[in-house]
Amino acid sequence: MKVSCNIKVNHLTRVEGHGNIRIRIKNGQVEEAGWDVVETPRFFEAILVGKLWENAPYLCGRICGICSIGHTLASIRAVENAFGIVPDKQTASLRLLLKHMETLQSHILHLYFLAAPDFLHIGSVLPLVQTHPEVVQRATRLKLLANDACDIIGGRRVHPTRPVVGGFTMLPEKSQLALIKARLEAALPDLVKTAQLFQTFSLPDFVRETEFVSLKGGDHYPFIGGDLVSSDGVVRKEDEYLQMTNEYVVDHSTSKWSRLSRPSLAAGALARLNNNFALLHPKAREIAASFSLQPVNHNPFMNNIAQLVECVHVVIDSIAIIEELLAAKWQKPRQPVMPKAGRGVGAVEVPRGILYHAYEFDKAGRITRADCVIPTSQNNANIHYDIIELARQSAAQQRTDAEIQRLAEMLVRAYDPCISCSVH
């Protein structure tokens, strides 16, 4: 019997923001399928015009409730690059540590609260409070650690207060950093248990080849600034980001779309891992190996596992960063800022992929033009084409309506989309 179905998911749950899935199959033929973003736009790029430079990181952090630290850091980097400010070692280390803790917080939120319920056939993490309290306790323990670290370094977990152009408004107490280090060491066994949990899940076997875009690591797995790279071999400088993003508008989406060498591209943990695998900490690579995850992997569901691998990497790297900070004497937290006319680009790897902020300033430091390219907006076209391919394969394999809908929802969730962000 040939598959026929008409699936419409309005406002997909367990993702940030508002998007719809549609799949219509008739007698085994896909008539239409796709991913529509219906989020209301907020117009941040217009809002910034005419504002003094100091508004940029403060306002832009508010593009996103989940990755506000990443937006703040990308915005700061764009301003500093425009004004010719180079952060000192202490500032760079604290920013990377803060970035790592946001990565951990966001990945754990996604893995346990948003993705895991699908594999356990439940609607949310809430039933686990009764049935598997130890799992919920582990998830909240990891998330609390990451959030506490964000508070200590960034002043606040959502919309951070301390990171500013030139450095930080104030520094953490070393005793607090030492406590975070101890908790990070204790978190490693929790991450091993998380890996064991995900080993019990059967990840859908789905492959559609695509192009992965991320920062290009030099000596380290990349998170803040540097060259841009794609798995199809494109390499560009940070300030040539427009050649990597190529944004355009489509009728059925309030989010812009991106493309590079193919009709769509993918950003995110899997893109970073595919492009920089050798730079991961050996223990993180071990976790990847236990899931047979190696570059270049084209299964979007493996983004879940790539996030898990990155959790291990950032925890180990954070311990090393804190050790270095504890051994050094605190320098002054912030360097002076002298605005000047010009353009600056900041590229930062946030949990969902590579994020770009770019501003142009007049000589008083007022913004004359702003552009932000969000990881999820880069991913939206890729999600769309994945859904079409998933529909085609599902029709060929004669899956049931319920199974097709479940897989399509899981597919979108695997990207951990931040839809509000993508329609900033």
Partner 1 sequence: MTAKEHTYLGVPVKKPKVAFFEFTSCEGCQLQLLNNEATLVDFLSLLTIVNFREAMSEQSNDYEIAFVEGSITRDDEAEQLKQIRDRAQTLVALGSCACFGGVNQLKNRFNDLAWVKKQVYGSHPIETREAMPLSAIVPVDLEIYGCPIKKEEVERVVTNLVLGKSIDYPKYPVCMECKANHNVCLFDLGQPCLGPITRAGCDAWCPTNRLGCWGCRGPAEKPNVRQLRQIMHEHGFSDEQMLDRLECFGGFGQYVSELKRASKE
The footprint of partner 1 (CB under 8 A) covers 11, 13-17, 40-43, 45-47, 49, 51-52, 54-55, 58-59, 62-66, 68, 109, 113-114, 117, 123-126, 129, 136, 140-141, 143-144, 147, 155-159, 161-162, 164, 169-170, 249, 254, 420-421
Q: What does the radius of gyration of the chain's CA atoms come to, in whole angstroms?
A: 21
Question: Least distance (Å) from partner 1 to the CB of residue 101?
Answer: 13
Which residues, including other chains, have CB under 8 Å from residue 115's CB and lie 6 or more apart? 14, 304, 410, 413, 414, 416
Question: Least distance (Å) from partner 1 to the CB of residue 204?
Answer: 18
Coil, helix or strand at residue 363: coil
- Residue 245 structure tokens: 């993003």
- Residue 352 structure tokens: 């969902």
Of 46 and 320, nearer to partner 1 (C-beta) is: 46
Neighbour tally for 136: CB within 10 Å: 18
- Phi, psi for residue 199 in degrees, rounded to 5: -65, -30
Question: Could you tell me whether strands 29-37 and 19-26 are parallel, antiparallel, or unpaired per DSSP bridges?
Answer: antiparallel
Of 16 and 310, nearer to partner 1 (C-beta) is: 16
Closest-CA residue to 34 (of 416, 420, 421, 408)? 408
- For 265-423, list the strands marked E by DSSP: 265-266, 342-350, 353-361, 367-373
Half-sphere exposure (Cβ direction) of 407: Cα atoms closer than 13 Å: 24
Coil, helix or strand at residue 400: coil
Give the sign of the dihedral formed by CA 264, CA 265, CA 270, CA 273.
positive
Of 175 and 292, nearer to partner 1 (C-beta) is: 175
Question: Least distance (Å) from partner 1 to the CB of residue 28?
Answer: 28
Question: Least distance (Å) from partner 1 to the CB of residue 94?
Answer: 14
Question: Least distance (Å) from partner 1 to the CB of residue 282?
Answer: 30
**Which residue(s) pair with 215 in the sheet?**
228
Of 2 and 369, nearer to partner 1 (C-beta) is: 369
Coil, helix or strand at residue 300: helix
Question: Least distance (Å) from partner 1 to the CB of residue 212?
Answer: 27
Of 55 and 335, nearer to partner 1 (C-beta) is: 55
Residue with tokens 């590229």: 347
Of 69 and 244, nearer to partner 1 (C-beta) is: 69
Question: Least distance (Å) from partner 1 to the CB of residue 327?
Answer: 25
Of 271 and 419, nearer to partner 1 (C-beta) is: 419
Coil, helix or strand at residue 264: coil
Of 204 and 295, nearer to partner 1 (C-beta) is: 204
**Which residue(s) pair with 334 in the sheet?**
167
Instruction: Give Cα separations from 357 to 40, 79, 351 (angstroms).
Output: 20, 9, 16
Question: Least distance (Å) from partner 1 to the CB of residue 18?
Answer: 8
Of 164 and 316, nearer to partner 1 (C-beta) is: 164
Question: Least distance (Å) from partner 1 to the CB of residue 125?
Answer: 7
Helix segments in 6-125, DSSP class H: 44-47, 55-60, 68-83, 89-108, 116-119
